[in-house]
Amino acid sequence: MLDVITGMLDDSSALMLSLLVFLSAAVLAFGIMIAVRARGAIKRRAAGIAEYSGGTGEARSLRSSSLKAIQRVLDYATRHYSVADKDKGEMKVLRRRMIQAGILDPRAVVYFFAARTALAIGLACAVSFLLPLVLDLGASMFWLAVILGGMVGYVGPSMYIDRRIAVTSTAPDFPTLWICWWSAPIPG
């Protein structure tokens, strides 16, 4: 087999050396990956022996583990980006902008970050799948369009909040309407 490879490469020792270095680095990387994965699996099994012994296995399902992961992310975002009782004096900037926009839900900041992430990934994927059907671009222009789609998805929720702030700041509030109604001349 080595003779076949050497014959194909026409005795190019530099190419053969680089191929062997690449293959040895790949084997080393895969070996480390398998060792880390096996160690993690052993730790997981050892930690879960008492919890899962005699159970139905419902707690180990993919659905429940993904729901737990989503809940952890939402809890993290709520803890770090929303307002707690001790932070009332120093309200976070994004939460203040949400209130100015008329969005009063305390979990709105978490939904904002979830929407920002989902839109960035979703628009980048949509551009990467749909753009080749419509246009024939070169590779660099294609990736530029994908990056631009991701950036639009990332900035989109902020632009929406800015637009809501602009709309709610130009709309008259109740005291202004009451003063205008009270000071209006009575026809007759």
Q: Which residue has the higher pLDDT, 63 or 134?
A: 134
137 shares a domain with 94: yes
Q: How far apart are CA 109 and CA 82, in angstroms?
A: 6
In the chain, what are the helix, strand and coil shares in percent, each to the nearest 5?
A: 80, 0, 20
114 shares a domain with 51: no
68 shares a domain with 26: no
Contact criterion met (CB below 8 Å) for 151 and 119: no
89 shares a domain with 53: no
Assigned token pair, 68: 């737990």
160 shares a domain with 90: yes
Contact criterion met (CB below 8 Å) for 160 and 118: no
- pLDDT tops 60 at residue 89: no
pLDDT at 90: 46
Q: Which of 60, 92, 109 is the last residue of a domain?
A: 60
107 shares a domain with 48: no
178 shares a domain with 122: yes
30 shares a domain with 117: no
Phi, psi of 92 (to 5 degrees): -65, 150
Query: What's the farthest any 2 CA atoms get from each other in the chain?
Result: 109
88 shares a domain with 40: no
82 shares a domain with 1: no
Q: What is the pLDDT of residues 107-125, one digit of tens each?
A: 788 888 888 999 999 999 9
Assigned token pair, 158: 């902020």
B/e letters for 177-186, b = 16+ CB within 10 Å, e = fewer, are eeeeeeeeee
Q: How far apart are CA 36 and CA 40, in angstroms?
A: 6
Q: What is the pLDDT of residues 26-73, one digit of tens each?
A: 899 988 888 888 877 777 766 666 555 555 545 567 777 888 887 887
- Number of domains present in the structure of the chain: 2
Quote the domain boundaries for residue 161. Answer: 62-188
pLDDT at 94: 81
Distance in Å from the first CA to the final CA of the chain:
107
